[in-house]
A and B are shown apart, each in its own frame.
Chain A
Amino acid sequence: ETGVTQTPRHLVMGMTNKKSLKCEQHLGHNAMYWYKQSAKKPLELMFVYNFKEQTENNSVPSRFSPECPNSSHLFLHLHTLQPEDSALYLCASSQDPQGGSPLHFGNGTRLTVT
């Protein structure tokens, strides 16, 4: 079982669809993150949760809605997305959101919006 598991690995959705990305971490970490990775761009931090409380929303459009029911699970609910939202969405966790503890990433969900 890998440390951070993301499902699905690939997702194709139309602009009017509603879908959700799921992330689960088995590392006992307290902080979880959503990042967006686009070609030739830096990884963009989207949301941060610490002890299942959202501590960061990096000016993300409301068509992305995160949910963190507990410290081990993180969801990203998607609705009425745009083609420019096509990217690799990475979930990560760390022991805490403050210190130098490393981020542990999942393998991502490759999202294509048609």
Chain B
Amino acid sequence: QQQVKQSPQSLIVQKGGISIINCAYENTAFDYFPWYQQFPGKGPALLIAIRPDVSEKKEGRFTISFNKSAKQFSLHIMDSQPGDSATYFCAARRNYGGATNKLIFGTGTLLAVQP
């Protein structure tokens, strides 16, 4: 119930292509879904996030699609660039109503964009 399942584990995309990473969850109490991007030797950094009252959020080339009924959300990277090569983590937050902000992370997707 507390898991967030992420796929694929790794992804190779050609420059200019679309990268798609998927996540699924079971706990309907999750109320916030961020994506984090991590470059080698660096800590993860927030990329984009969505709340379940909207079905899509776009920031530049990055889009989150959210399907509440299917309990799935995905990250789409349009016009993928070699500089996008990184590990991407989806996450979901269970808000305990004033208690600790608990983020449950997926296992990560290693994206390689080939020039």
Point out residues on A near B: beta carbons under 8 Å: 4, 31, 40-43, 45, 48, 50, 55-56, 90, 92, 94, 96-108
Contact = CB atoms under 8 A, between A and B. Distances in A.
Given A55-B100, A90-B43, A43 B89 contact: yes
B107 A40 contact: yes
Interface of B: 4, 9, 32, 34, 36, 41-46, 49, 51, 89, 93, 95, 98-108
Given A42-B106, A98-B98, A100-B93, A105 B49 contact: no
A102 B107 CA distance: 19
A41 to B, nearest CB: 6
B4 A42 contact: yes
Contacts of B101: 31, 48, 94, 96-99, 101
Contacts of B51: 100
Given A99-B101, A100-B49, A41 B107 contact: yes
A7 to B, nearest CB: 13
Contacts of A98: 95, 98-101
Contacts of B45: 104-105
The secondary-structure label for the interface of chain B is strand
Contact of B43 (A41, A50, A92, A97): A92
Nearest to B95: A98
Closest 10 CB pairs of A and B: A105-B43, A102-B46, A42-B105, A43-B105, A97-B101, A56-B100, A100-B32, A107-B43, A105-B44, A97-B100
A109 to B, nearest CB: 11
A102 to B, nearest CB: 4
B43 A108 contact: yes
Interface centre among B41, B43, B89, B108 (most CB of A within 10 A): B43
